[in-house]
Structure 1
Amino acid sequence: MRRWVHSTALRQGAAPDAQAPVALSFRTHPVRATLALLSRSRAGFAAALVAGFLLLYFGLGGILASTIDDNLAFRPSAADLPPGGSVAVAMASAILDREVNEHGWVPDDPWFYPSALADNMPAWQSGIRMGALRFTAALLARQPQDPDLLKANEALEVRPDRWWIGPGWPWLRATSASTYDDAVDAIRAYNARVAKDGTLLTRDAATLSVLLDDLARALGEAGDRLALHLEGGAAGGDGKRLGNDEIFYAVRGQAYVTSLILNGLREDFGPLIRQRQLAARWASMARSLEQVVDLNPLVVTAGRPGSFLIKNHLMEQGFALQRTEEQLRALAAELRRAPVPPAATPRR
């Protein structure tokens, strides 16, 4: 009779009494019940362990390994800035040294590193490398045969994601981080020579105007990459289509190092800037560029223009870049003009 009642209950859709404690345990203790269920199958338990490990390794590990240092008050150390050297040149070597040797260069990390799935910090550091490269290229354009600038420029032209093993020949090569470390040494050596011989980097209006034009051109090209991305084209250096956050942080990193270099140029050419009465215009230009660096949303979005719900951070970034470029070009043009002689004091 008892067996007949139990079978009848099963036919009517009722759960057997043995299943009730299990169902109840899932409602009251979901974690404990899940572990108990997994322990019944070795394969399921092993798969859960692997999934948990990968989640912690690439998820939490990637977060811990990601550092975006956007300190605009950053100053070069004595190793980068010898007495009489250029503050702007010291900024270039110091920021590279900080990213490579203090924070660790992430773009060249292989697929099994915790940072393999991160994209913001690699893009940020790639932008920093681009900003330093464009500045050393501007210096090299004025001194094409300088051995230290040649070494630095050649090292910084190496892709930021090169690991020590690669598919092409030679398949063993120096990593991007190691190559950029060589660039730091070369830039420091150049600045040491500048400290001893001021003619290497003359503090005149012609030199400053050329450097400002080159930096403006570099920011303009960054703005062009943003526009190409918004139009749906490939904005990566290798023709790869980047994500919104990748192109955003790459441009932001370039703007950051450019802002530091411009702060250095303001110190290097301080007497000239005051003599030409350009301090206020320089400060306005610096604020425009700092707006690019300060724009740091939690999630980078590229909504339709005028959208009330979804902002377009890339367009905001591009507008601030364009304004900075125009201000830099205006300062360079003003420096190329002949200085106005002071008015003669009338005799009494």
Structure 2
Amino acid sequence: MFDPIIAFFERVFTLIGHGIGVVIAWILWPFMVAGRWYRSKGFILKAIVGAAVVGLVVLYAIFIWRTLWIRDFNPDYVAVYNLDEAGVKAGDQPSIENSSATTRTCSRSVIVDVTADLIDFNVDQNAWISSTLLYKAGFFGVPWDSTPFLDNKASFQRGVHQAVQRTAIELVDTLGRVRGTSQVDPDLDRARGRIQYDQYTWYFSLSPFGPLAPTPAAFREGRDKLRAFNDRLESCDAVFDARADNLISFIDRIAKDIGSTSAALRDRSAASNAGWFDTRADNQFWFTYGQLYAYYGILKAAHADFADVIESRQLEDVWTTMEDQLRKTLDLNPVIVSNGREDGWIMPSHLATVGFYLLRVRSNLVEVRSILDR
């Protein structure tokens, strides 16, 4: 009675076993061919090829070690700045170039310090992954971003740097000059240029052909220029213009930046419902996470730098709520990022979850901007 059923399952398992064997044979075939070729060659060629293979294995071991986790990652990293005590009311500082009383000088900008430290976190406390040779080479020619492994850290770093780039632009255009009419600060201008440097540059390029400064070196110079500006600011030789209209402009740019990321999350969610098997979903998730990780510190720093404005406009509660929303987002830490249906129960949609938090933060920013603009 059960013989046909048993025979059916035997055929199924036989076919599955045969399929697995074919896949394994296909994977091992290049290595078997290479092994036969290697054994047929002379000692000198064997030594050269063997050394190259060992070197490649060592490089991949270093690459994997660097990409496995984010060093010194701490969602509460802003605690080290003691921001509750760092706020210096703008009116307590002398004005410069006949600017309003809300121009801060003779004290460091916490925004600048946090931005510089985020660069340091990306390129010194961690290796900058996107410009390393093996990351650029991909997995047997396949970009790492198209694979399900060893790309999350790179995406996180690029998200952090997105926020750093946005902040560097605002420092040059509005915050680091008086009413946007004074001369551009040279340190901030140089920092912006180096921070905008291509994120994928190794030591050598084919187009343009020749040696180049690698990405981490450019970012480090940008970090150093930010710190040089803050040193001059502390010595009353620079300007940080902490006016309400500058804060409005800064918040507007951040809200637009977050809005762009929200659109990218929506597009990725609409493009696939493959759940855990969507190899692109983790890239977008960790980019968003890195961006919010950086903006959490930057907006906490803005709370200190614009303490006088926030207090006078009675923004404390709204601003604190926004900071709390950002901090809650950083509690998201899925082992495997899933991009399933939004109403799915087996494979959830982590992109929809982080997108929800993202839009809440954006709505908080819009509310802050509305209050400031009254």
- TM-score (normalised: structure 2): 0.67
Contact 1:120 1:246 in 2 (8 A): yes
Aligned residue runs from structure 1 range 321-332, under 5 A: 321-332=358-369
Contact 2:303 2:310 in 1 (8 A): yes
1:62 aligns with 2:94: no
Relative contact order higher in (CA < 8 Å, ≥ 6 apart)? 2
Give the match for residue 166 of structure 2.
134
Aligned residue runs from structure 1 range 24-173, under 5 A: 58=60, 62-63=64-65, 65-68=67-70, 69-75=72-78, 84-111=107-134, 118-142=150-174, 143=177, 145-173=184-212
Give the match for residue 305 of structure 1.
342
- What SS is found at the alignment partner of 1:162? coil
Aligned residue runs from structure 1 range 252-263, under 5 A: 252-263=289-300
Per-residue CA deviations over 1:140-167 (Å, capped at 9, x if unaligned) read 2224722222212211222222111112
Aligned-residue offset at 1:63: 4.2
Contact 2:106 2:233 in 1 (8 A): no
- The structure with the larger Rg is 1
Give the match for residue 206 of structure 1.
245
Contact 1:62 1:115 in 2 (8 A): no
Contact 1:61 1:115 in 2 (8 A): no
Q: Distance in 2 between matches of 1:301 and 1:262?
A: 29
Q: Distance in 1 between matches of 2:243 and 2:237?
A: 11
Contact 1:85 1:192 in 2 (8 A): yes
Contact 2:60 2:134 in 1 (8 A): no
Contact 1:259 1:286 in 2 (8 A): yes
Out of 317, 324, 327, the residue aligned to residue 287 of structure 1 is 324
Give the match for residue 99 of structure 2.
none
For residue 205 of structure 1, what is the amino acid of its counterpart? A
- What SS is found at the alignment partner of 1:166? strand
Aligned-residue offset at 1:114: 12
Per-residue CA deviations over 1:223-247 (Å, capped at 9, x if unaligned) read 11212222339xxxxxxx9811111
Residues 253/83 of structure 1: CA separation in 2 closer, same or farther (3 Å cut): farther
Contact 1:70 1:256 in 2 (8 A): no
Q: Distance in 1 between matches of 2:113 and 2:233?
A: 11
Q: Distance in 1 between matches of 2:186 and 2:55?
A: 49
In angstroms, what is the RMSD of aligned CA positions?
A: 3.5
Q: Distance in 1 between matches of 2:242 and 2:194?
A: 27
Contact 1:67 1:103 in 2 (8 A): no
Contact 1:57 1:114 in 2 (8 A): no
Q: Percent identity?
A: 24
Aligned-residue offset at 1:250: 1.1
Give the match for residue 316 of structure 1.
353
Aligned-residue offset at 1:95: 1.3
* Consecutive unaligned residues in structure 1, runs of 5 or more: 1-37, 234-240, 338-348
Q: Distance in 2 between matches of 1:173 and 1:152?
A: 18
Residues 53/97 of structure 1: CA separation in 2 closer, same or farther (3 Å cut): closer
1:194 aligns with 2:233: yes
Per-residue CA deviations over 1:286-326 (Å, capped at 9, x if unaligned) read 12222332211000010011001111011111111111111
Residues 173/113 of structure 1: CA separation in 2 closer, same or farther (3 Å cut): closer
Aligned length: 287
- TM-score (normalised: structure 1): 0.72
- What SS is found at the alignment partner of 1:304? coil
Aligned-residue offset at 1:334: 0.8
